[in-house]
Structure 1
């Protein structure tokens, strides 16, 4: 029968040391009496209440010797701060190492918080956001959701889904030329076709115009304030006109306030949906054979409606508008508005949720490494304060007073580190903005949300860095401390300190290994054989695909000896925006459904992009009327045809069974998508009405600067002669394709930076511990040198203590890094393997860095004069 432990602990910590023993004896006698009279349960309650009553005078005391956990007077706080300042100034070297480690850790955590907070705040301002969904196409076989859908899906949602309160189709068009008739100025821009339903779906602030009718009529447009001022120099633009791609003028009927920077709908130019018929008369708004990612449908579900109520209608809708086969292979997918920013969206900029989670973990780990430095160095140098602790406890100071003292010191270092981290983050913010393309400003650094985060981080870091040293040091017995003037160096203390070093280097090794593997994957991306040429190909958007215009442009371009070939097409051999089409191949009575990517190009398409033909003949420009196609090897595999020559002459059908074309050639596989995805079954055909891009192949893959400047001038001149009223813009294909791997490139750079910081912080800790060890073992080193020990032997002796934890960290970090990177590599269809040499290299780097860090102090101690060492106190 024992009294409650918490009450005894309170009495030990906060009671008068001179009377605690006597009081405890009296209370124990009372406790035994209560147990026999009222039972053990009530006895425990009475014992606890008696302890609280005894401690009440101390809780009301303002004495610095017996502080209450609930009451700290200003005099006490001043005393703690004064003592903490003296102690920090006396141990300036260790304090500086602690400060630098915490500054780096806090800066890393702060910048990562700004990035993650920004990326996870997209579209949160939308008042109906919890009911808004994007209608996508889910391929059951590939288990992949396409953000785009059939253009006929909008009417299907209106007619067949009663749960949809609003249906909003959006069609995005890029690379259009806007001219202002009143001034003659021209601008290159992207636009979105939308209806008035958009203003009921999303939150907009109107400066002028009527949201109910603004986009009801053809040839009307709504602008944002910023775009209106760019075009006309003022936001008072109602009734003014602008001309889009030299087609009928559009009248401005509304002006919107600029959208927030955390939106997935950054639309400056909104054209009425009825204008599609006048500006693009060939565009089918009720198409069910294929889709484009730039046509997306959003719905607002009625209140208390679950998305499953819509998706369960997939089979019925696809059977009604397509056929039963399509219903078996596809499904309707609804993506919540909150998740749109983490994938392809019309805003163009997306975030990777896995990367954000990785960044958050990195921030926690780097900060943890800094806190571990503080714990290790504070406990390591505590022997210098053993006498101070013993004297204070001997004259009556209780344990809680000492805990407050050590937490105050930790708080002062953390507070200084927090202020410095704000300065460093402010200086580094432009670099982060350039690296990630995130619109962060200094205002974000000093926002209320950031201040709250820093306050919480300050408290958490103070507790993490200070609470163990505070309890460890305050628990020293005063007689033992005064007698020995050092901390007890039992086995447990050494094990804990080494364990913390293991944690530091485990994190560092995981980051080093991850950086090496990510760079290997990026190198693979850069050097992979895509099955076509990417070097020295310039792509230019086509504003007009009439045969006469295209022939004129080809003739003008061919006048330069630097131009090797020119092809007009829907897009490049590999592109993000793809045309997906349901196809069939019939083998007897059996029909094989093949989800196919269509590539539309002229007779120069294969030669310009260097696509190899395995069998049959190439395309001719006249094939646009004879329905001939070239298939890739993947398409043949889906057909069940083994040899390319056997596919020549075979017919291909639309998904609904209508005859489509005849295969006249077979092309070797090439990556029609990025290396994230597998190669789709692909057909190449000649469709001049869908030529929206020119691919210009230069004579040499690496032209010098002068030659490149000359050929670009020639291309621009040819362009202006063909399209004099359009703005000329170009891009290099290899640079465009490299953008598909921006997320991975940024991941590499961010993890590489975090790795560098983690190693620096860990090395600071090792440096401090090595200095402490060398100082503590000064006499031992002197004795060893007198007895004949060599400098190298002493260096090895002192270094071995710190290299063992690094080797243990390698054993722990290797499987963790392997698992993490194996999961990351699952994002790619084409990827590198994980080999043992990566872990060997990471471990070798860590051991080398640790040895160089420790050996500096070890060599310095080994070279010390043994006479001075033996004379030291």
Structure 2
């Protein structure tokens, strides 16, 4: 019996090829898109879950309460805290410390290679976290401070396909021995480090060891492995007691712990060593996956139920010869399973083909997703959803025919399904219109951010930062080198201007101070936080900052102890008028307010402009802001590289344009817009295919009516209008339904930006026109074909 069901199912597919192709194509595209989304969503939700005892692994979190309204959250903690906590707090099974690195230089085959994905770890790291060792072991790594552990891809980059263990690599100025090779980090790992170095190597430097021995130095991340059932709230309270006991002046500091599984979606940190996920965005894409799958399934439901009259006699004959309703239901469900299964097979092929593009957009490394059990669960779940959603309603509908009513020419169904079919088309096109509107608003916001007046000019300015190891700790030698570099750069005609600053990411400044300021009229209990920048006298000119009052720092050095405030700082700090000349003290340095600069965005547009204090301290100003002359950008970069090679010969030239750095602030939004645009196109394509099938069937059902109308004098235009009107009305209703939903969703999304574009009315008009145009073209294909047909052929049997 089962074999017969599938045999009949395949016969029906072969007999109605056009409808079958539309159904299978739509489902294939829908399953492929939904599988990709679910693959990404599953990866986001499963971050770091692969570690054994993940539920018992936590990271220490620091909270500094500045005022009732302002709190700083840090992921970092003192290096000394972990070992002391393990001794004094019951329930801590193990602790380990992570020191994320900024950049190291690897010397290999007369090449200098920059590595940014590296970290220093202590000996307990592999007792807390899981790694798959391909060569070597963690024990040999811990015995020698100048050891390395490489990922497989990194080992291959430096040593080819040969053994890496035991080989030497020169890192910066020291030789390190590779002690182990581990498998590449999974895509759902927070720890995307390609090189691991013992923390003892860092502490071999006297200055670093001195800093690490200071309880006030929150330099890295401390992870704890707790015994099962330990009260994490109590652990946080005891950590707070330890930090307040050992670090005087930390009465406003509170320690807590956060689970390893929660780190990926952690928000509110001043800075993060990891690339955090956006839980709201993940949930949006989860809904989007189901919507795309539903859009594809609607095609099957609509086209199957639309052909109810065609299959009514088949069902009636089956019932007369003894087929029960259960058997008929099983027949139609088997047809749904065949279509869903064939679509799944094609979707698997499409997943393999489209995987490189998906990896590029999401910047994930899904190497062989089909080798993952999670992927097959997603695909199996998708198959079940399609099978059930496609099959239930058509099977119930088609198996409900009454044989006598069919043969007597009465109504085929106990209830009319036309309204349900129209509702599904409305839902289908409504989803498409919502995605079109969302894509347009996201692109509009991204364009707004690109062209926004930030209060400074970021074009043709690049930054290169001299490593502090090259400069050393001697003040005179360091300043002499920095002055020499600046002078050599300024002598070149391709370089318009050069400025020095202690901040290398002016567009995303994270430096903040609190409680170290004083000015005339400050209340004793008012200790606000402000952002700070250290810059020289050229900084204002090179970035075209505009002054509201007073002046920027003078060339003669008379403003060495003075400050420049932004307009927001003047308002929030309550500086008395006249502002210029008012006493201002910060970090023990007393001076006056020399000028007020107009507000500029020194963080992303997600945040409102805060108070900014700019000082003229350039003792550690090792970042050079270089503005190129028009048309000489390439020459200026070459000059900067030559100067770099002269003063920093052992490290590769490293620079970045402010414009590029600013755009990276919105990298997540750019990836999202690309994905949503792609899925909008997919949704529209699926909807158009479904409409094409319905239009073809409608024309087929009304072929005699069209023939009679043509004989009576109806024009081709009249026939097209007749066949198109009903479908276009449905699409118009879909627009009306989609507009408020899309407005609500995108208005909520825009709330995440302190500075945002408006939702213009014309966006909805354009989206409606696109949907109507696509529907009109789709329906017209069949309408024109029907209108041009010879009426003699359709009326010959009458």
Do they superpose with TM above 0.5?
yes
Find the counterpart in structure 1 of residue 621 from structure 2.
Answer: 691
Asked if the contact 1:375/1:469 (under 8 Å) is kept, the reply is: yes
CA distance in structure 1 between the partners assigned to 2:691 and 2:274 by the alignment? 46
Aligned match of 2:528: 594
Question: Which residue of 1 is the match for residue 731 of structure 2?
Answer: 806
Give 3-state SS (helix, strand or coil) of 2:533's partner.
strand
Deviation per residue, 1:497-539 (Å, 9 max, x gap): 1111111112112111111111111111111112222111122
- Equivalent position to 2:481, from 549, 553, 562: 549
What is the CA distance between 1:139 and its match in structure 2? 6.6
SS in 2 for 1:303: coil
8 Å contact from structure 2 (residues 459, 658) kept in 1: yes
- Provide the secondary structure at the position in 1 that maps to 2:115: strand
Structure 2: distance between partners of 1:139 and 1:813 = 45
Counterparts in 2 of 1:257 and 1:279: CA distance versus 1, 3 Å: same
Give 3-state SS (helix, strand or coil) of 1:690's partner: coil
> Residues 689-733 of structure 1: CA distance to partner in whole angstroms, max 9, x if unpaired?
533432211122xx3xxx433332222122112222221122222
Establish whether residue 176 from structure 1 lines up as the match of residue 104 from structure 2.
yes
Q: 2:240, 2:114 → 1: CA distance? A: 42
**Following the alignment from structure 1 to structure 2, what is the Cα–Cα distance between the partners of residues 630 and 287?**
32
- 1:815 CA displacement: 2.1
8 Å Cα contact 2:133-2:181 kept in structure 1:
yes
Question: By how many angstroms is 1:841 displaced?
Answer: 2.5
Instruction: Identify the residue that residue 198 of structure 1 maps to in structure 2.
Output: 125
CA RMSD of aligned residues (A): 3.4
**Pair 1:341-2:341 in alignment:** no
Contact 2:99–2:221 (CA under 8 A) maintained in structure 1: yes
CA contact (8 A) 2:106 2:169 kept: no
For the 8 Å contact 2:563–2:584, the answer to whether it is kept is no
Deviation (angstroms), 1:428: 0.9
Change (3 A) 1:850 1:648: farther
* 1:109 CA displacement: 1.3
Residue 679 of structure 1 corresponds to 609
Give distance in 2, aligned partners of 1:286 and 1:661: 33
Residue 170 and residue 569 in structure 1: after superposition, are their counterparts in 2 closer, same or farther (change >3 A)? farther
Which of the residues 427, 431, 435 maps onto 1:511? 435
CA contact (8 A) 1:215 1:273 kept: no
- Render the CA deviation track for 1:343-392: whole Å, top value 9, x for unaligned: 58876544333222222211111111111110110111121222111111
1:494 aligns with 2:421: no
Alignment of 1:420-459 (within 5 A): 420-441=346-367, 443-459=368-384
Q: Is contact 1:290–1:582 with CA below 8 Å preserved after alignment? A: no
142, 145, 170: which one aligns with 1:242: 170
Task: Give distance in 1, aligned partners of 2:101 and 2:335.
Answer: 60
What's the counterpart of residue 664 of structure 2?
739
The answer as to whether partners of 2:535 and 2:617 remain within 8 angstroms in 1 is: yes
SS of 1:281's equivalent? Answer: helix
Aligned to 2:115: 189
Q: For residue 390 of structure 1, what is the aligned residue in structure 2?
A: 316
Q: Where does 1:344-363 land on structure 2 (aligned, <5 Å)?
A: 348-363=274-289
What is the deviation of 1:871?
A: 3.4
Asked whether the equivalents of residues 580 and 592 of structure 2 are also in contact (C-alpha less than 8 Å), the reply is: no
Between 772-781 and 278-287, the greater mean CA deviation after superposition:
278-287
The structure 2 residue matched to 1:257, chosen from 149, 160, 182, is 182
Contact 1:151 1:284 in 2 (8 A): no
Q: Shift in Å at residue 839 of structure 1?
A: 2.3
Distance 2:149 2:137 in 1: 13
Question: How many residues are paired up?
Answer: 777
Cα 1:276/1:82, change in 2 over 3 Å: closer
Per the TM alignment, residue 628 of structure 1 is displaced from its structure 2 partner at its CA by 3.3
TM-score (norm 1): 0.81
Match of 1:405 in 2: 331
Judge conservation of contact 1:624–1:686 (CA < 8 Å) in 2. no
Q: Do the aligned partners of residues 253 and 393 (structure 1) sit closer, same or farther apart at CA in structure 2, a change above 3 Å counting?
A: closer
Q: How does 1:9-20 map to 2 (within 5 A)?
A: none
The answer to whether the 8 Å contact 1:628/1:662 transfers is yes
Whether 1:646 and 2:569 are equivalent positions in the alignment is no
Query: 1:460 is matched with which residue?
Result: 385
> Distance in 1 between the 2:284 and 2:141 partners?
44
Report how far residue 228 of structure 1 moved. Answer: 5.5
Change in CA separation of 1:723 and 1:434 when aligned onto 2, cut-off 3 Å: same
Secondary structure in 1 aligned to 2:773? Answer: helix
Give the alignment partner of residue 574 of structure 1, picking from 478, 482, 506.
506
Distance across 2 between alignment mates of 1:598 and 1:163: 41
Q: 1: distance between equivalents of 2:558 and 2:133?
A: 47
Q: How far is the alpha carbon of 1:809 from its aligned partner?
A: 2.0
CA distance in 2, matches of 1:847, 1:527: 32
- CA deviation vs aligned residue, 1:202-229 (integer Å, no higher than 9, x gap): 2245678885795588x63432254556
CA distance in 1, matches of 2:239, 2:526: 22
Q: Structure 1, residues 29-81: CA drift from partner, whole Å, max 9, x if none?
A: xxxxxxxxxxxxxxxxxxxxxxxxxxxxxxxxxxxxxxxxxxxxxxx223222
Partner of 1:521: 445
Which has the larger Rg?
Answer: 1
- Taking structure 1 as reference, are residues 208 and 476 closer, same or farther at Cα in structure 2, changes over 3 Å only? closer
Question: Does the C-alpha gap of structure 1 residues 695 and 168 become closer, same or farther in structure 2, counting only changes over 3 Å?
Answer: farther
The secondary structure found in structure 2 opposite 1:683 is strand
Matched residue of 2:408: which SS? Answer: helix
Distance 1:136 1:623 in 2: 42
Indicate if the aligned counterparts of 1:149 and 1:297 stay in contact, CA closer than 8 A: yes
- Structure 1 277/142 Cα, relative in aligned 2: closer, same or farther at 3 Å? farther
Q: Any idea what SS the aligned residue of 2:639 has?
A: helix
Pair 1:417-2:351 in alignment: no
Change (3 A) 1:91 1:602: same
Q: Is the 8 A contact 1:145 1:333 kept in 2?
A: no
* Aligned mate of 2:636, from 702, 708, 711: 711
**d(CA) in 2 for partners of 1:636, 1:316:** 38
3-state secondary structure, aligned to 1:592: coil
2:692 pairs, out of 764, 767, 784, with 767
Q: Distance in 2 between matches of 1:689 and 1:215?
A: 38
Deviates further, 392-401 or 453-462: 453-462
Cα displacement string for residues 835-873 of structure 1 (whole angstroms, at most 9, x for unaligned residues): 333223222322222222223322333344444443357
Which residue does 1:559 correspond to in 2?
A: 491
Which of 593, 608, 615 matches 1:663? 593
Quick check: 1:585–1:592 contact (8 Å CA) kept in 2?
Answer: no
Q: Which residue of 2 aligns with 1:37?
A: none
Query: Are the structure 2 counterparts of residues 725 and 160 from structure 1 closer, same or farther at C-alpha, using a change threshold of 3 Å?
Result: same
Give me the whole-angstrom Cα distance separating, in 1, the residues matched to 2:411 and 2:21: 23
